[in-house]
Structure 1
Amino acid sequence: MAGTRALGVVYPLLAVLDGRSVVWAGWVVFAWTVPTLLYIPAGALVDRWDPRLVLRWSEVLRGVAIASVVLALAWGRLDVWHLLAVAFFEAAFSVFSSLAETALISAIVRKKDIGNAMAVHESSVHIAVLTGRPLGGLLFGWMPVAPLFANLVLIGGFLTALRGLGGSFGSRDRAPLLQEIRRGITVVRGDAFLRVATWLTASTNMIFQALVIVFIASGVDHGTSPLVTGLVLAASGVGGLVGSLVAPRRGRVAAWLSRWTDRRPLVGKVTDHAGLTRRGRSTLVLHAWLWALSLALIASTDAPVFFAAGLVVMGAAGGLSNVTIKTVTSRSHPDLIARVTGFSRLVSYGASAVGPLFGSVLLMVLGVHLTVFALLGLTLLIASLVTWVRRLRRSLSPRWEAVSGHAGATEPSESRGAANDAVYEPQQVTV
């Protein structure tokens, strides 16, 4: 994964090698991002096949594409059209690889251990984000071909490790591809938790990308150095790593908070409504309120350190939510894991693409400070809706009974049991 992230930096740098126009860098990045549209059909195909085979062939073909660039550089004849084609196909194979990774975890890990496995996988994603791009730029500065060689080495090591992976995968029934795609979309739309969780995370992703544009604009106004800008924006990755590492332990944290608030009814009501304890437990509701808290912190000052602190909290909330969504999907729909994941990622990436445009429009109309408050208001609205609109809340906290006055009631049996299972299936308890 770190190698894939590095290529996101390397491709545009290769595009402007030998004095080519920076416009080509934009086209190469476009070619590298377009394959995200393949997530839905790729998910249907991955669900048909043995995920080990999908991983093996996807990585082999990625290696072939990258090796062709290495050879072209060695001969001194890297054509920009060649680079455009490699960027597109390598990214397309990466889509298949990422979906197959999630499906493989669901297939080989015991159901009770899926939460921990998904937390480890999510942690590796954030480590890749934090290390891949800086390493890609560093290696390219040393020698343009170096990050490509590094990718080939990583692919070779991964394929070697994959050969030793056991497990059996039976054949699966195959319906027409369009029918399988529709089934995956129908499952997300019909599952109350997945439907609300998908649109909640898409909304917050859009807000995050808008916030990045706001910070860059603010940095230009205040003369913030590029180094500080990069470090601040990396804070969300640090938070994501922290959130994914904490995810397997959040059941114990919720159990401790439940016992502590048993003797403090007023505090208990607050923690129940915020998604922290008892019948109100919900990682996604907590996600929304943590984002609201982060934006309130960012809106309070222009200091980059507070912006970084807010992004750390946002990243942690995102890491927790990602682990929860992946775990619930793996437990509830193991045969549809790639299709459901593909649909969710397409919606999420689509919202992320709209975010910068949304932020830019707000900046033109409102200016920096008012834009931050507008984003805070939107986040508070989202958090309020998932907290107090009963239908939405019960989708995320199935035992929520706020209307009948039970939220905040002492529930020692769940408090003790929560420590034994980090994530609950939505139809059983809470998530």
Structure 2
Amino acid sequence: MPRKKNAPSRRRFGAVRQYRSGRWTASYRDAAGKEHRAPETFETKTDAEVWLTVTEADLTRGNWIDPDAGNVDFQTYALRWTDERGLMPTTDELYRRLLRLHLLPTFAALTLNEITAARVRTWHAERKQATGATTVAKSYRLLKAVLETAVEDDVIVRNPCRIKGAGKEEAEERPVATAEQVFELAELMGPRWRFMVFLGAFATLRPEELAELRREDVDLDKRTLRITEASPELNTGKRATGPTKSRAGKRTIHLPSFLDQALRQHMAWYAEKEPDGLLFVGEKGAPFRRTTFGRKFGKARAKVIDLPQNFTFYDLRHTGNTLLAEEGASLKDLMVRMGQSSVRAAMLYQHSTASRQRQLAAKLDTRVRSDTGRTPPTPPTPPAGVPSGAAVVRPIRRSI
């Protein structure tokens, strides 16, 4: 009996059939026996058969992905992704804020299959017009990480985040204070917070590490601080006390001797008296708050001559590390003192200032003079009869 015109053609793998419109479709069954149909129709029977051949090859090589797997919506997948990361509280807070403000408004209702490279490019261009470059870069990196996991989970075939350099932050270099400006800032902060400024600069401690520093972490005789925990303050005002940012964050800081008296005075006057008492508390005995401390810091900063108005407390850490680098501290020295496991982060403090370049030039001058015993060279006198360079420059002949 002749086969009907629109009946599926028999193939070793899958089947193709023609619609009344004249276009063709293709279908197949996976290893579990579940039927799948091509997501689009084809102009010719050959196009449909080619699509089936490619699909069969993917199944054979193990590259096949269930097309229905990517039907989960981005919001569900991204929030589950965040829950499963086991992130530090501050990182978790950052990711959820980036999702809420910058990613979910665009991608929440889309399935993972619907997030295309074109849609990502459009979103990226719109975000660049609406917010800062650093926030856009962080949002893009988060989107790319979520979708990269979707690729690993065989939910989508390829990551649509393909914008070259979109995840790179081009942040401006942090300002650096002089040692004199640090001392002036410390005095303006008042006696209770003076030593915190010193530790921010000359011990290069993070604010969250200072918040959790306790009396038992201090060795007055050896002049050392033991850093084991941190207490970052979340946007809710709560502190998320726990381990340091990384394993490298657990370290012992040796203080310079000029801080010896300031350390002993602060321990005697302002630190809590219990063995596990906090080193820094407010006038009423409560742990210091970021907002209150920030206002006090801003007022003091405004009174320091030539200190940039964008100088933050965290820039004290940058200042101290820059001073150490200029004194010859190696990259490894800086990494240990900062509690950094990343070479890239430590390299931020290896920049060379104009004053440092002048110092190097002066040191080179002294070294060469010492090694050679030479005095500064004087310009040679040209031999008699030889014209100067200016004399041999001929005027340009112009045509009329």
TM-score (norm 1): 0.21
Q: Please, what TM-score do these two structures have when normalized by structure 2?
A: 0.22
The structure whose residues are more often helix, as a share, is 1
Higher relative contact order (CA 8 A, sep 6+): 1
Q: Bigger radius of gyration, 1 or 2?
A: 2
